[in-house]
Structure 1
Amino acid sequence: MTHWRFGLIGCGSISDMHAEAIRRIDNASLRIVSSRDEAKSKAVADRERCDWTTDYKELLNRSDVDIVCVTTSSGSHASIGLDVLNAGKHLVVEKPIAMNARDAQALVDKAKEKGVALSVISQRRLEPQNRAIKRVMDGGGLGKLLLAEVSLPYYRSQEYYDSAEWRGTISEDGGVLMNQGIHCLDLMLWFAGNVRSVFGKTATQTHHIEAEDLGLAILRFEGGAFGTVMASTSVSPGYAASITLYGERGTIKMEGTEIVRWSVPGWDEPDRTQKNKLGGVSDPRNIVSDYHQSQLIDVMAAIETGARPISTGEDGAKAVQLIETIYKSAAEGKEILFDS
């Protein structure tokens, strides 16, 4: 069994998920962490018993690092990710892969050029209820898909946005769609397929931020189904996100991580007694590392076998392109067609 050696760039709160996940994998180890903040970098290194640096390019020059996890602020993912790929390292990058579709595609192209793996953290794909839904959708269990609904009524305080200068900015953070909503939008695309057209609206209703705290969209999928999206960080006290899939033969509805409606003729309902722990409704720190661990294991296996990871760079780019198109539609006040 290959032992995979990790480097970690970024020592903010989400980096704890990656460090814990790596720690729990038998054939993996964290060799070095990097942060511009020396105190943060040293604190994580002391806890994880690894090396540290304030210059991530020093990390990239290490011969004992195979895979690099990038957990910096969203606006830096593309530039740091390109440096990782140019160094010939496999890249696992937190969502979003980049802040725009152009930069996302540049990462995809660079990974192919260098012959290394690129995976975007979409850990919700690894949750058992979502894998069960994916099997139904791939197997045609709902028949023709009619409508896919995403609702994300989250809450974030003004203090959350004020906690760092980059939060709530368009270039470094994005709004509710790019930051909080991207996981549900990724699942929607995974379940329903590619999007043909978008009509979007955005607003900033309750926060003093540059980006939106409300995003709405009506979608048309290539398969003919419609989609609706609502994402907000202004709904107090915050409620679980939901995804509902309506087909000609049945319906599936998930709230949070629990399937609450399962009407799929001929398909056994997943075991509802297996509760998944997933937070983030009102506090982004209230999540667990289980599915980050599962995704890192998937990436390691994909590298060994030459298979595609469950969440590819192309997948991450599609989610960013959808959000970018919602923003464009909202700015122009018209429906936007995707290039065929």
Structure 2
Amino acid sequence: MNKLKFAIIGCGRISYKHVEAITNNFEDSVLVATCDVVKEKAEEKAKEYKNKTGLDVAVYIDYKEMIKNEDIDVVTIATESGYHPEIAIYAMEQGKHVIVEKPMALSIKDADLMIETAKKTGVKLAVCHQNRFNKPIQMLRKAIEENRFGKLINGMASIRWNRNMNYYKQAPWRGTWELDGGTLMNQCIHDIDLLQWMMGGEVETVYAQTGNFIRDIEAEDFGAIIIRFKNGSIGIVEGSACVYPKNLEETLSIFGEKGAVVIGGLAVNRIETWRFEDGKDSEEEILKNQEDDPDTVYGYGHTPLFKDVIEAIKNNREPLINGIEGKKGMEIILAAYKSQKTGMPVKLPLHDFSTLDMKEVNLRR
């Protein structure tokens, strides 16, 4: 099979990871076009790719024009979150496979329409929850699948980060209900996705308390969620953009009757605790043989995620994180928002809710 031809739509903060992933999968992929409404940003990513590979890349400011003019197999979307559904659905309707950054959408309706469009058109839809590919996360998932924990009791996703006002001022769409949501939807969704993946993936109820404490944004800068899974286990989420003076940690902790695991590091990439009753492996050895932290909180997961999508296209199978999987973390967060709005626990599945339904809710504390 020939190399798959990629195009990137949205060339802001995260897009260099898309360039990196396409470059690292060079045997199977080539970047043919970049697109951003700010032409200089698209040019910058095209130049980045050329510096790595020596290959020229076409530059566009209109994604529809790009899709019309260029021979493209896969579109990757790294625009503001609120624009993801419209672009993804258009691209899929033109027969393009899609890799979309998290969150895939900001409403249940849009996420369902994206999943439906992928099914209808026969293309692949993948969502960038790249931390699922971290080596320690894969080890933890294997331990879950092998039932090494026994009965699952509880899990915790703790995101203790700092996002100061400069971060929000750099891109005024951040922290808005229309295009982003708050710290739960933007910063915490990766860890929430991992939590639900480990705890069984089927949620019964969600209860949340959130607030806007110190950041001058529409949405929350801190949120706490309690999740009851259908298998009886309980998930707890603590998500903050207010930790002084800088990022402290992002950890995932899973506890069962016969096991306890804590994974931390810069991007949930380092095992801190690994204890099992079965004694199959040594915590001391595992803690000793670990890789260094990645260069940023984005981690190294985009490269294997893109590889998984390439293989899914080649072998006509679903990507590991398809639309159905990509929706799960987002649905928990939307349920948390609905819970904050109503003051009540929210039963899943959630049939229709959007970040826009939070517009009139005063979160200021």
Aligned partners of 2:131 and 2:299 also within 8 Å: no
SS at match of 1:174: coil
Contact 1:176 1:232 in 2 (8 A): yes
Determine which of 212, 225, 237 is the counterpart of 1:229. Answer: 237
2:210 to 192, 202, 211: 202
Alpha-carbon offset, residue 278 of structure 1: 3.5
In structure 2, the partner of 1:244 is 253
Q: Is 1:182 aligned to 2:189, yes or no?
A: yes
TM-score (norm: length of structure 1): 0.94
> In the alignment, which residue of structure 2 is the partner of 1:18?
18
Contact 2:31/2:57 (<8 A) preserved: yes
Alignment CA distance shift 1:168-1:240 (3 Å): same
Output the CA distance in 1 between the equivalents of 2:311 and 2:135.
19
SS in 2 for 1:61: helix
Q: Per the alignment, do residues 4 and 289 of structure 1 end up closer, same or farther by CA in structure 2, a change over 3 Å counting?
A: farther
Distance in 2 (alpha carbons) for counterparts of 1:30 and 1:287: 24
Structure 1 residues 84 and 24 mapped into 2: Cα distance closer, same or farther (>3 Å)? same
Unpaired segments ≥5 residues, structure 2: 50-55, 351-365
Deviation by residue 1:43-80 (Cα, 9 ceiling, x = unmatched): 32233230111110122124521010000011111111
Deviates more, 1:147-156 or 1:260-269: 260-269
Q: Which residue of 2 aligns with 1:282?
A: none
Q: Indicate conservation of the 8 Å contact 1:217/1:229, yes or no.
A: yes
Query: Is 1:263 equivalent to 2:270 in the alignment?
Result: no
Q: What SS does the aligned partner of 1:125 have?
A: helix
Q: How many residues align?
A: 334
Partner of 2:41: 40
CA 1:276 to 1:223, structure 2 compared with 1: closer, same or farther past 3 Å?
A: farther
**Structure 1 unaligned regions, length at least 5:** 280-285
Determine the structure 2 residue equivalent to 1:254.
263
**2:75 matched residue in structure 1:** 68
Q: Could you tell me how far 1:36 is from its partner in structure 2? A: 0.7
Moved more, 66-75 or 310-319: 310-319
* 1:316, distance to aligned residue in structure 2 (A): 1.3
319, 341, 349: which one pairs with 1:331?
Answer: 341
CA contact (8 A) 1:145 1:225 kept: yes
Asked if 1:110 corresponds to 2:111, the answer is no
Amino acid at match of 1:3: K
Query: 1:173 and 1:23 mapped to 2: Cα distance?
Result: 29
Tell me how large the CA RMSD over aligned residues is.
Answer: 1.6
- Closer/same/farther in 2, CA of residues 276 and 171 from structure 1, 3 Å limit: farther
Closer/same/farther in 2, CA of residues 288 and 112 from structure 1, 3 Å limit: same
Deviations 1:233-273 (A, max 9, x none): 00112211111111011111111321111112334258432
**TM-score (normalised: structure 2):** 0.88
Give the C-alpha shift of residue 276 in structure 1: 4.5
Contact 1:18 / 1:289 at 8 angstroms: preserved in 2? no
User: Deviation string for 1:63-116 (max 9, x for gaps)?
Assistant: 521010000011111111111111110000000000111111110000000000
Corresponding letter in the other structure for 1:58: E
Q: For the Cα contact (< 8 Å) 1:125–1:310, is it kept in 2?
A: no
| Distance in 1, Cα, partners of 2:37 & 2:294 | 30
Deviates more, 1:48-57 or 1:177-186: 48-57
- In 2, Cα distance between equivalents of 1:326 and 1:274: 35
Comparing 12-21 with 178-187, greater Cα deviation is found at 12-21
Aligned to 2:353: none
* Percent identity of equivalent pairs: 33
